[in-house]
Amino acid sequence: MTIQLQIEHQVLGAQLRAVAEEMGAVLVRSAFSANIKERRDCSTALFDERGRMIVQAEHIPVHLGAMPEAVEAVIARDPRPGEIYVVNDPYTGGTHLPDITLVSRVPCGFACSRAHHADVGGMEPASLPATSTEIYQEGLVLPPVRLDEELLSVLLANMRNPEERRGDLDAQLAAHGLAERRLTELVSRRTPSAVATAMDELFAYSERMVRAAIGRLPDGRFEAADVLEPHGGGELEIRAAVTVAGDEIEIDFAGTSPQHEGNLNCPLAVTRSACYFVVRCLTEPDLPSSGGAYAPVRVVAPPGSLVNARPPAAVVAGNTETSNRITDVVFRAFGEAIPVPAQGQGTMNNVTFGNRRFTYYETLSGGQGACPDADGPSAVHVTMSNTLNTPVEALELAYPLRIERYELRKGSGGAGARGGGDGVIREYRALEDCRLSLLTERRAHRPRGAAGGEDGASGRNTLNGEELPAKVTRGLRAGDLLRIETPGGGGHGRPSR
């Protein structure tokens, strides 16, 4: 390949990445809900004609690793130019039901967007019930189907706060309109064959780089395990064995607990996302991401297990909480061979409020684990989440809630030669009667330190000063005060005394 052609591919790659980033900007700036326009709980990517992910915006890791399976499911429906398909089925490339994915035909491939909608129906406002035992309780299930006004009216009739839902879906549609225009402009300037060739090279380049980085890791088999805290008590175990052989990695979850009656079950697409995230962090973290980076990674998960659940298992917390624990376990397994960070907070701290009039959803930041050469940052979203916080002013303006305290939880990070990051404290006052759901983790088990570093503090939930479990759904009265204390990150290296 000539230098001129290499330069052309790099320029085209930058242009394609710019389209994905601009899709995300349109989605965020056009959305109605605070969850998307403030927290940016959404993701965008472009795929080639074969359904391979070529470029992605730097959004939510748990979204992006699962997108290829959603696109594959839509391609099987043979979409035509101008058609947009919608899917949220976790067993067809989705993550959990609130994450609605749109896929559209564009020149040289497909555009894809995924956004977390603050309600998709189901047994509780905001569609994150702590007590769901089957997926039908969590909201409306959408297999890949063509989106038109008739279907949209059906969707909105089954969702709370339909005006806000319509606004967020319109924002996704606007992002796809932007992708269509930008790709049309690009192929008119560069020709379809040039763009398609650049897509092939971008995919192959990512694969080459990651394979080379894997080749520098020590060969061997490395194992780890950790647990989740299901509703009702007890523990669920996740076990992983990482095998590095040459320029390939296999991650095997044999021995993991079977799927359970609660909602910590994880679709295989989400499990793969978590594994891909870890491998990217430990090989080529600064590489512009594409599906080629994941080609050297094979994920094996027993069917019917917690990390490869079968329908109609409930999955709403699998996407948010189990994905975090998978990440912790796979990092820890790699830690048997190479230096890795201490564990971060290990939870997204999901909080929802709602009634017939409003629905509100957010996740809360916490402490990141320390690295061998740096302290862990405080008050950040870790691993599978990459969202922002909802500004207090935006929350209070739009919803009947008041934030009475929002501060660092000082001292919650684990001590070490490098200290773990601190979590946060956030207090909410309900201003009208509503329902509350919490899906949180690391309340009974602390985030672990590494290389002699101390563990981070576990999290804590209280209502009017009384302890709440890690996972709960219940009613609130106007005036009730909810307090969330998020976990700190583990320390790295023995602390000096």
In this predicted model, what pLDDT tens digit does every residue of 387-443 receive, in sequence order?
889 999 999 999 999 999 999 999 999 999 999 999 999 999 999 999 999 999 999
- Please name the residue that has the structure tokens 């971060």: 344
What are the start-end ranges of the E strands in 401-440?
401-409, 423-430, 434-439
Q: Would the pLDDT of 62 be above 80?
A: no
pTM of the model: 0.96
Q: What is the mean pLDDT of residues 319-331?
A: 97
pLDDT band at 289 (very low <50, low <70, confident <90, very high): confident
Residue 222 inside a domain? The answer is no
Confidence class of residue 233 from pLDDT cuts 50, 70 and 90? very high
| 8 Å CB contact between 183 and 108 | yes
Q: Which domain holds residue 356?
A: 341-497
Q: Which of 268, 242, 241, 270 is nearest to 254 (CA)?
A: 241
Q: How confident is the model at residue 8 (pLDDT cuts 50, 70, 90)?
A: confident
* CA gap 372, 449 in Å, rounded: 11
Q: Which of 433, 438, 489, 493 is nearest to 462 (CA)?
A: 438
Domain end point (choices 155, 189, 205) = 205
Q: Is the pLDDT of residue 59 over 90?
A: no
Cβ atoms of 44 and 103 within 8 Å: the answer is no
Nearest to 54 by CA among 287, 292, 285: 292
- Would you say residue 404 lies in a domain? yes
**Distance, CA of 208 to CA of 438 (rounded, Å):** 42
Per-residue pLDDT tens for 180-191? 999 999 999 999
Q: Are 238 and 257 in contact (CB under 8 A)?
A: yes
**What was the pLDDT predicted at 386?**
81
pLDDT above 90: residue 252: yes
Asked if pLDDT for residue 64 goes beyond 70, the answer is no
Is the pLDDT confidence value at 175 over 90? yes
Average pLDDT over residues 335-341: 96
3-state secondary structure of 12: helix
Boundary of a domain, candidates 205, 233, 256:
205
Mean pLDDT of the chain: 95
Residue 260 has pLDDT above 80, yes or no: yes
- Segment 336-359 shows an average pLDDT of 96
Q: What total of structural domains would you count in the chain?
A: 2
- DSSP for 137-173 reads GG-----SEE--HHHHHHHHHTSSSHHHHHHHHHHHH
Boundary residue ending a domain (174, 205, 236): 205
* pLDDT for residue 172: 98
Report if residue 323 sits inside a domain: no
User: Which ranges in 191-267 belong to alpha helices (H)?
Assistant: 192-215
Percent of the chain with pLDDT over 70: 99
Whether 332 is covered by a domain: the verdict is: no
Same domain, 347 and 492: yes
Name the helix (H) or strand (E) containing 393. Answer: helix 392-398
Residue 252 lies in a domain: no
